[in-house]
Amino acid sequence: MGKLYVRVDDRLIHGQTIVAWCPTLGIQEIVAVDDVSAANPMLKSILTMGVPKNYKTSIVTTQEARELLCDGSEKTRLLIVKFPQKLEELRQQIAGCEKLILGNLAKRPDTVHKVSGATGIFYLSDSDVEILDSLAQSGIDVVFHQLPTSAKTAWKDFMATL
């Protein structure tokens, strides 16, 4: 079975994903999970237009992601979701992931936590914190990490500030 890395990034697939994360993690397949984008051919095209052909890339619905992640692939995958709530829906499928990397979470109406000490933009709602803490408590390594070359903040260090 291949490795699975999970990233929360409200931009889904973008330059940093392709240029920095994929080579660093040895990614062979990118799976972006977003029901809206998966249903819109134009958005799918925009998200994949800058991805080199050596990366198998899928923009899928939550249900399609569940099925895809159960297929027993030997590839090293990067699963990207926009928000932590999607991780709750995919909890069983991401249980054995290598790392959950929090990349970019812009301010939203329900966000009440701005993560200090980490490079990047990280705003979390109480619900986000609850979901991510539950995943961390289940044994998943959760980190705030904008780029592989930037400083990272461990989930436990963030939780100590609350």
pLDDT band at 40 (very low <50, low <70, confident <90, very high): very high
What domains can you pick out in the chain, each with its CATH number? 4-159 (3.40.35.10)
Q: Calculate the average pLDDT of the chain.
A: 94
**What is the C-alpha separation between 13 and 125, in angstroms, rounded?**
23
Residues sharing a CB contact under 8 Å with residue 49, sequence separation 6 or more, in sequence order = none
The continuous run of DSSP H or E covering 61 comes out as none
Residue 47 or residue 121, greater confidence: 47
Residue 18 per-residue DSSP state: I
* Residue range 64-120, pLDDT digits in tens: 999 999 988 899 999 999 999 999 999 999 999 999 999 989 999 999 998 876 667
Instruction: For the chain, give the percent of residues with pLDDT over 90.
Output: 86
Instruction: For the chain, give the percent of residues with pLDDT over 70.
Output: 98
Mean pLDDT of 15-23: 95
**What is the C-alpha separation between 156 and 137, in angstroms, rounded?**
10
- Confidence at residue 117, expressed as pLDDT on a 0 to 100 scale: 65
* Residue range 131-144, pLDDT digits in tens: 999 999 999 999 99
pTM: 0.95
Provide the token pair at 148.
Answer: 């592989």
